[in-house]
Amino acid sequence: KIFKNHSSQKIFGPPGTGKTTFLLDEVKKHISNGVDPENIAFISYTNAAANEGKKRVSRKFPGLGSLNFPNFSTMHSLATKIGGEKGKELCLEEHWKDFDNAIFCYTEWTEKNDPFSASSRYDHPVLDLYSLALARETSLSEELNNKLESDNYHDYLDVMAIQDTLQSYFNLPGSVELLKYSQRYIERYLDYKRRENLVDFNDVIINTVDDNFDNNRIPTFEVLIIDEAQDLTDSLWSLAKKLIRKAGTVLIAGDDDQAIMINFGASAHEFLKIK
């Protein structure tokens, strides 16, 4: 779709001011005015928030259920749906363990009591550092240097964990050249994914924000709502801007004072900058 009129609004809402309620009321208003629920996207940082929004809206319309709101999701879920996997298989615990049995894996249920919503996740010092660099659209060396130069105790613990992990994986005695071996570890991880035709959650975002990604795959929503926008990373903002350019009515809501995900790459300044 190409919309003759495009409107964008930015909404600041500190805790308890009814920001999400306001956004869901906007969804109800558009549905009442004839907008198909499938043409409304409600993007939140967590699956739990997106699912809760879906339930709250569907309760107001007796003929609609959660399945009528397929685009109430996280940015990662949307990126996967529009082809961010590029036909490859999404990494599961068995794949991470096959690459490196020391990777700690866990299962995250994106919807309570729904086993079909289970997703595999990992917790690993070097892979987490790499994810942070991708989220901030920087580099492994820059993020490692930031931690090495930081006075923050948590950054110190991260560096120690990276060192221990690399020593164990490469069977290295004594001190480790952290950047050299971190890069070597990531190279092996990327090679493994290529060899096994796999992608992870970082890849689905990287693929969709790439300039070569088919722009026709970027959906054209009549209504696009991005909630908790201060928690989007730089890479997620790159995808968000693609969605915003092609949408009709856009509402971007958040509170830069609530930016609690900065250590995971969240970019509150992008929320403040966006027109």
- In tens, the pLDDT along 200-249 reads 999 999 999 999 999 999 999 999 999 988 888 999 999 999 999 999 99
- Please state, for a pLDDT cut of 70, what percent of the chain lies above it: 93
Q: What residue has token string 């036909």? A: 87
**Neighbouring-strand partners of residue 9:** 251
Is 47's pLDDT higher than 90? no
Distance between CA atoms of 201 and 84, rounded to whole angstroms?
9
For the cut 80, the answer to whether the pLDDT of residue 264 exceeds it is no
- pLDDT tens profile 162-176: 999 999 999 998 889
Mind listing the pLDDT tens digit for each residue in 92-110?
999 999 999 999 998 876 5
pTM given for the model: 0.88
pLDDT in tens, 13-29: 888 888 888 998 999 99
What was the pLDDT predicted at 67? 86
Strand order across the 223-226 sheet: 7-12, 249-254, 223-226, 40-43, 72-73
Residue 114 has pLDDT above 70, yes or no: no
